[in-house]
Structure 1
Amino acid sequence: MNKDIIAKKEAAVDEAAEILKNAKSVIIVDYLGLTVAEVTEMRAELRQSEASMQVIKNSILKRAAEKAGFDGLEDKFLGPTAIVYSNEDPVAPAKIADKYANEVEAMEIKGGMIEGKVSELADIQALAKLPSRDGLLSMLVSVLQAPVRNVAYAVKAVADSKDEPAA
């Protein structure tokens, strides 16, 4: 084999390994049968969530997973494969991939990796059902405000009861 070709393949493996190492989550999907419009729409939605989708050859993904130290993904790299990933939000790729897998019959989630741990379809679907990061933060703020709000209501009730004339 030509040295230039080998060098290009090694560079592709290194690049894919970096993606796997740096990603908060990687969802492996079978995209065969998606129309160009569906893929374009999905990529646009991923970009809005600071996530990406790439089609990479299975042989390169297998070597990249091995190089990055992720065992257990090899059996997922069969047939037409794309990876959906994000370096920022671990939930966004799972949500979007699950949404399209439910809406478009042609797309199937094979498995993936969440926070550096190899995950199966059930784990990814559970992650997809979680509220977004902003939703979780607003829930947390609401829970933290509840005791203060309850104390304020109690103080107001006491103040109101003292203002009422005695009967």
Structure 2
Amino acid sequence: MDRAEKQDAIETLKGVFASSGAVVVTHYMGLTVAEMTDLRGRLRQQGAKLQVVKNTLAKKALDGSVGEAGDALFAGPVALAFAPDAVSAAKVATAYAKDNDKFTVIGGLMGQQVLDKKAVTSLASLPSLDELRGKIIGLIQAPATKVAGVLQAPAAQLARVMAAYAAKDAA
């Protein structure tokens, strides 16, 4: 890798760190190509990506902005899982780490904040953006259906009374 390629890789990583809601730092030692492909597919379904990085380039891209704690995450074979929202990459990475012993979550970065493994697991337990949108839509629609039910109830009762009188007259 020559100097220009390294500079391009650093700029790409700076963009990843800036545009991602959270970056999950993982170790992938011992994973097969098929397992990595499976993990990438799972991440892609959630709108996230996985990128294997060189530690020195990642540290240069961070430029000391997260301090020594952030730089300590980048040791050994590191892959970054990232997405525009803060939750999806963490969810998939922690779920995959539970299923596969060779894949481990080391920590993460959220803006200028360094997250440990426990914080990434907590982040993964939060609902995703799509789930939150669904809940909000459900909350918005619930009062409308209740109002429609309340407005419809007197008419239904009136119809039942009329049907009862008609049945009584017919008998």
Give structure 1 stretches of 5+ with no counterpart.
none
Q: Which aligned pairs between 1:19-38 and structure 2 lie closer than 5 A?
A: 19-38=16-35
After TM superposition, give the deviation of residue 84 of structure 1 in Å: 0.8
The one-letter amino acid paired with 2:20 is A
Identity of aligned residues (%): 32
When Rg is computed on C-alpha atoms for both structures, the one with the higher figure is 2
CA distance in structure 2 between the aligned counterparts of 1:51 and 1:147, rounded to whole angstroms: 35
Q: Deviations over 1:72-97 (max 9, x none)?
A: 311111111111112x3322211111
TM-score by length of structure 1 reads 0.84
Deviations 1:42-94 (A, max 9, x none): 11222233321111111111111126x333311111111111112x3322211
What value does the CA root-mean-square deviation take over the aligned residues?
Answer: 2.3
Q: Which runs of 5+ in 2 are unaligned?
A: 166-171
Alignment check: 8 A CA contact 1:28 1:110 kept:
yes
Amino acid at match of 1:121: K
Pairwise CA distance, 1:16 = 1.7
Q: Secondary structure at the match of 1:77?
A: coil
Contact residue 22 and residue 86 of structure 2 kept, 8 A: yes
CA distance in 1, matches of 2:19, 2:134: 27
Tell me, yes or no, if the aligned pair for 1:55 and 1:83 is still in contact at 8 Å: yes
User: Within 2, Cα distance between the matches of 1:161 and 1:116?
Assistant: 62
Q: Answer yes or no: is the 8 Å Cα contact 2:17–2:111 preserved in 1.
A: no
The residue type equivalent to 1:21 in the other structure is: A
Aligned residues: 162
Match of 2:143 among 147, 152, 155: 147
Q: Distance in 2 between matches of 1:76 and 1:139?
A: 35
2:7 corresponds to? 10
Structure 2 equivalent of residue 56 of structure 1? 53
Tell me by how many angstroms 1:116 deviates.
Answer: 5.2
Indicate if the aligned counterparts of 2:24 and 2:89 stay in contact, CA closer than 8 A. yes
- What displacement does 1:108 show? 0.9
State the shift of 1:111 in Å.
0.9
1:44 partnered with 2:6? no
Partner AA of 2:33 in structure 1:
V
